[in-house]
Amino acid sequence: MVRAKFLVESITIYALGYGATIKMRPVYSDDPGHENKQFWDATPSGSIEMFIKSTAAQDFIVGQEYYVDFTQGGN
């Protein structure tokens, strides 16, 4: 498993409750004592963009940070 930490940059909500697009980028800090500095050193660039076709999009907030865990799928 690989754990990353991303910041929500934007949320685009579509009409009629169709869903939302969430755009995220890696967190940043230049403070050596801050957890985000460790994540930044490991993942200094990148992006996640996902379309969520459910009310789960309401769980995301612009400006908030979220852990993202990557685990290998089956097959």
pLDDT at residue 75, rounded to an integer: 76
Q: Confirm whether 70 is domain-assigned.
A: no
Can you list the alpha helix ranges (DSSP code H) found in 26-68?
Answer: 35-42
Token look-up 């009629």 returns 16
As to burial, measured by CB atoms within 10 angstroms (0-12 exposed, 13-18 middle, 19+ buried), residue 20 is buried
Please answer whether residues 46 and 53 qualify as being in contact, where contact means their C-beta atoms are separated by less than 8 angstroms: no
Q: Is 27 domain-assigned?
A: yes
Query: What pLDDT shows up at residue 21?
Result: 95
- For residue 16, name the pLDDT band (cuts at 50, 70, 90): confident
| 48 is a domain residue | yes
What b-and-e string marks burial along 22-57, b requiring 16 or more CB atoms within 10 Å of the CB?
bbbbbbeeeeeeeebeebbeebeeeeeeeeeeeeeb
| pLDDT above 80: residue 61 | yes
What is the model's pLDDT at position 14? 87
Please indicate, yes or no, if residue 63 is contained in any of the structural domains: no
**Where in the sequence is the domain holding 14, given as residue range(s)?**
2-55
The domain tally of the chain equals 1
Mean pLDDT of the chain: 91
33-37, 41-45, 49-53: least confident range? 41-45
Determine, yes or no, domain membership for 74.
Answer: no
